[in-house]
Amino acid sequence: MYRSITLFTVMTMLLVIMVSGLNPEVYGNTPDPLQEVDEIKDEIAEYEETIRLLNEDIEGRLERLEELDEELATIEQNLVDTEAALIDSQERLDETTEKFGGRVRSSYMKGGTSYLETLLASDNFGDLIIRLAYMQRIADRDAEIIHALREEQQNTEEQRLAMEEQRTNIADRQFQMQAERKNLEEQREVLTALLDTSREDLEEALTRVPQADGNPVYGIAIDNHPNARPQHGLSKASLVYEFEVEGRVTRYLALFHELPTKVGPIRSAREHSIMLAWENNVNFITASGSRDNRERIQDWGVSYTNALSHGGYRDNARRAPHNLYINLSTLRAGNPSPGSVLRPGNISRQGSPGNSFSIEYSTNYRVSYQYDAEQEAYRRMINGSHHRDATGTPLWARNVIVQYTDHPTDIFRRTTPEVLGEGAIDYYVSGQRFRGTWKKDAPSSRTRFYYEDGQEIERIYGQTWIQIARP
């Protein structure tokens, strides 16, 4: 037995679902992302339940149509048999009638003598009675046979008419069932399309739900000399700074809340990388550093690990100094992340087109980014090739901030980007570009990034790259 779902029921469900799914923004209310996701999930559940009932109904109707097909086939065969019986009955009736007529003619006429003459030719009264009784018996028997045959024929004809009516009823029911099934299938198509749309809406809504970015625990100075590539661990970092050192070569400061088993190659500290690690409140890991920078680390009270003396190891597959690595999962030099930061899944304002851009750090080193709408992230490129870490994992950035600052040299002629102060930025996110400013008030204070209108930028969740570049 199947459950029948009426057109009224389906249309009522559709109306309720469509009304409940109206965009609240039409009425001036901006929905809470989590509430919107819950509502879309409820909508999807309603669509799925309605489609499930429709499928049950359609399956039930298909089963009933199969039963009707079998009934109709039986009726058709019975009709064939009945038609044959009618033909046979008619033939037997015709044959009996013919025989009866022959006997009557034979009785009435014998050798040209009439029936009356035959009776008058009786020898006596008893012979007459016998002849009359004989003729009556023949007539009665033939009449009974003919009556039985006609009654049989009438019954057969009545059966035929009843089966014809039954066949017509079954055909009508089949037509009705086919029409109802077609309507249900059309309703299912509509609901399936709405379900697909709702699922797409859910995916899009999920991008607006705040996601947790873990607070980083470690900040590691990573080598970017050509001999240091590909590096280990970059794909696992939550935030990566890239900045110049001497010789127009760059290095990274990669911040981790995940703890990869191999990160590096590790290089020494610089003044600007110390300040960036300090402002992020991470355990700063380097391959030592110059005396002045070691003193800064100590004087500023920066949480610090020297990988040369604690936790680091050399990988003989490469030459020093590009072969010092560390296992963060066993280091235990930084406190576990105390929590996480909820970040939106989508930017809340409209910028100018920003699908691709590049930064030329030197004549033989160019960093570029290309936005991929399917990945909803920027493909990071080095000299035209997709940047990958040592595991082959491609690097993608959800946020890219180009922080413009002067690059003077210190007393040791080392390039030292000025990360203290303020300057201009370009912020790239979701295929859009925003102009703005940066500001850092003290070595320990966090660098703040602002849109041109002065509102502070809130990065969307996912990996962020901050490219510190010359103006």
E-assigned strand segments in 32-186: 109-110, 113-114
For 326-364, what is each residue's pLDDT tens digit?
999 888 877 666 666 667 777 878 899 999 999 999 999
Domain 7-206 has CATH 1.10.287.1490: yes
Contact 265, 325 (CB under 8 A): yes
Pairing of strands 283-286, 218-223: parallel
Confidence of residue 319 (pLDDT cuts 50, 70, 90): very high
Selected residue with higher pLDDT from 420 and 107: 420
Which bin fits 416, alpha (ψ -120 to 50), beta or left (φ > 0)?
beta
Structure tokens at 388: 């990958």
Confidence of residue 104 (pLDDT cuts 50, 70, 90): low
Q: CA-to-CA distance for 265 and 415, rounded, in angstroms?
A: 20
Question: Comparing 7-21, 267-281, 380-394, which segment has the lowest mean pLDDT?
Answer: 7-21
pLDDT at 72: 75
Residue 35 has pLDDT above 80, yes or no: no
B/e letters for 244-279, b = 16+ CB within 10 Å, e = fewer, are: bbeeebbbbbbbbbbbbebbbbbbbbbbbbbbbbbb
pTM > 0.75: no
Selected residue with higher pLDDT from 445 and 66: 445
Q: CA-to-CA distance for 418 and 277, rounded, in angstroms?
A: 15
| Count of alpha carbons within 13 angstroms of residue 364, beta-carbon side | 5
From residue 374, alpha-carbon distances to 68, 116, 209, 404, 431 in Å are 51, 113, 18, 29, 11
3 state SS of 417:
coil
7-206 shares its CATH topology with 213-469: no
Contact 378, 369 (CB under 8 A): yes
Domain 213-469 has CATH 3.50.90.10: yes
Selected residue with higher pLDDT from 158 and 308: 308
Domain parsing of the chain, residue ranges: 7-206, 213-469
Place of tokens 């509502």: 39
- What are the phi and psi torsion angles at 462 (to 5°)? 115, 175
